[in-house]
């Protein structure tokens, strides 16, 4: 095999109370990489579709390229990889767009090379790519994009990444507003110091969320899905956030918060039907402000990246 086509999924980082520590993967949207192994050392980005010409074509500046270059260097490879990247998710959306690209490229390259590394061993290369994209090597998008499911980053130094059990019937609704927020900007506005009393509430909620997920205790998940530190600041960048969140909760979602650094908003529900209902209500609330959005609805993605069949293409937003 010297050609492969791989899909890697969008991710919801932070999950309300787990800033830079918790994330999970969904099934849609996501990016696709077509990769080809060749005898010429290094990485070549042969093309990018779906980015409106905005992403760098130089391999050492592009997240997919940075990740695969680091992998090849680690392996001491004399061969090289050509990458054709198809962006099927918006840039600056808070859905882990750069992570989906780097993880798809890494997984594809590793497969072409005969699978020398396990998925978790590729994580540092994806984190390097993340740092090149937004100046911060946070792993709460790349780890779930690579490993699937819910992933806790217990420690960055040394890296300690834990897959968390979660209930089977947990479904995610994403509202992606048609605005862009750069992760770099959304991090810059955060306060550098927080009150001890707020920290206690936040880490208690994170512990409650992890326990609720592991025990399939939906009431506990619901009570714990709160972010009292970052959401109040970042939601100022998302017009209509309070209305959208209110509509999600009123429609029966377990909870609702900002996905990653925004502007996308996520909600969790206990059935696909409920997640669709919640999505409809969120879109309605947003459109009352004359604002456009896309809705994605998905179970939690337990797999992460996967090889695509030749005729398989990603689905469009639900509505
Ligand atoms: N944890 C990161 C942040 C995720 O909130 O800035 C970025 O998608």
Q: How far is the CA of 36 from the centre of ligand 1 (A)?
A: 31
pTM for this entry:
0.96
**DSSP one-letter code for 300:** B
Query: pLDDT tens for residues 206-240?
Result: 999 999 999 999 999 999 999 999 999 999 999 99
Mutation choice for ligand 1 from 138, 257, 258, CB with most ligand atoms inside 8 A: 138
Q: Is the pLDDT of residue 317 over 70?
A: no
Query: Which ligand 1 atom minimizes the distance to the CA of 259?
Result: 8
Q: CA–CA separation, 73 vs 110, rounded Å?
A: 12
Query: Which ligand 1 atom minimizes the distance to the CA of 261?
Result: 5
Closest among 212, 211, 222 to 255, alpha carbons compared: 222
Residues 260-266 have a mean pLDDT of 97
Query: pLDDT tens for residues 109-136?
Result: 999 999 999 999 999 999 999 998 877 7
Cis before residue 212, ω within 30 degrees of 0? Answer: no
Query: pLDDT tens for residues 24-52?
Result: 999 999 999 999 999 999 999 999 999 99
* Ligand 1 near 141 CB (within 6 A): yes
Q: Which residues are catalytic?
A: 130, 183
Q: pLDDT tier at 315 (50, 70, 90 boundaries)?
A: low
In a 13 Å sphere around the CA of 163, the CA atoms on its Cβ side amount to: 15
DSSP SS3 for 160? strand
Q: pLDDT tier at 316 (50, 70, 90 boundaries)?
A: low
DSSP SS3 for 268? strand
Query: pLDDT tens for residues 130-171?
Result: 998 877 788 999 999 999 999 999 999 999 999 999 999 999
Q: How far is the CA of 316 from the centre of ligand 1 (A)?
A: 25
* Ligand 1 near 31 CB (within 6 A): no
**DSSP one-letter code for 266:** E
* Ligand 1 near 185 CB (within 6 A): no
Cis before residue 180, ω within 30 degrees of 0? Answer: no
Q: How far is the CA of 201 from the centre of ligand 1 (A)?
A: 20
Would you report the helix, strand and coil content of the chain in percent, each value rounded to 5? 35, 25, 40
* Ligand 1 near 14 CB (within 6 A): yes
* 9-90-262-190 Cα dihedral, nearest 10 degrees: 110
Output the six-digit token pair for 212. 């609720």
71, 146 Cβ separation under 8 angstroms: no
**Please, what is the average pLDDT of the chain?**
95
Mutation choice for ligand 1 from 97, 183, 265, CB with most ligand atoms inside 8 A: 183
* Ligand 1 near 234 CB (within 6 A): no
* Ligand 1 near 182 CB (within 6 A): no
Q: How far is the CA of 139 from the centre of ligand 1 (A)?
A: 9
Q: How far is the CA of 191 from the centre of ligand 1 (A)?
A: 14
**Domains, in order of start, for the chain:** 3-164+301-307 (3.30.230.10), 171-299 (3.30.70.890)
* 243-246-251-256 Cα dihedral, nearest 10 degrees: 110
């Amino acid at each position: 095999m010297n050609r492969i086509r791989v899909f890697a999924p969008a991710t919801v980082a932070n999950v309300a109370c787990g800033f830079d520590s918790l994330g999970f993967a969904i099934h849609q949207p996501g990016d696709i990489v077509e990769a080809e192994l060749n005898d010429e050392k290094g990485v070549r980005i042969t093309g990018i579709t779906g980015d409106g010409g905005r992403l760098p074509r130089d391999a050492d500046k592009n997240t997919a390229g940075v990740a695969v270059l680091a992998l090849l260097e680690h392996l001491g490879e004399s061969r090289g990889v050509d990458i054709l990247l198809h962006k099927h998710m918006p840039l600056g959306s808070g859905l882990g767009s750069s992570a989906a690209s780097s993880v798809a490229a890494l997984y594809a390259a590793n497969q072409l090379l005969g699978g020398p590394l396990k998925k978790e061993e590729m994580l540092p290369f994806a984190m390097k790519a993340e740092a090149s994209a937004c100046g911060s090597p946070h792993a709460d998008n790349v780890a779930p994009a690579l490993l699937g499911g819910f992933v806790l980053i217990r420690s960055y130094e040394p890296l300690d990444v834990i897959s968390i059990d979660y209930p089977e019937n947990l479904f995610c609704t994403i509202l992606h507003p048609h605005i862009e927020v750069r992760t770099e900007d959304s991090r810059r506005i955060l306060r550098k110091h927080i009150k001890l009393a707020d920290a206690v509430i936040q880490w208690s909620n994170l512990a409650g969320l992890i326990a609720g997920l592991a025990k399939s205790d939906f009431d506990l998940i619901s009570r714990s899905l709160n972010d009292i530190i970052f959401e109040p600041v970042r939601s100022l960048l998302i017009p209509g956030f309070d209305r959208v969140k209110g509509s999600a909760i009123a429609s029966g979602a377990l909870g609702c918060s900002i996905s990653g650094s925004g502007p996308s908003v996520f909600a969790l529900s206990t059935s696909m039907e409920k997640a669709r209902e919640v999505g409809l209500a969120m879109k309605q609330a947003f459109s009352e402000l004359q604002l456009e959005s896309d809705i994605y609805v998905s179970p939690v993605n337990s797999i992460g990246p996967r090889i695509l069949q030749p005729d398989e293409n990603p689905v469009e937003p639900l509505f």
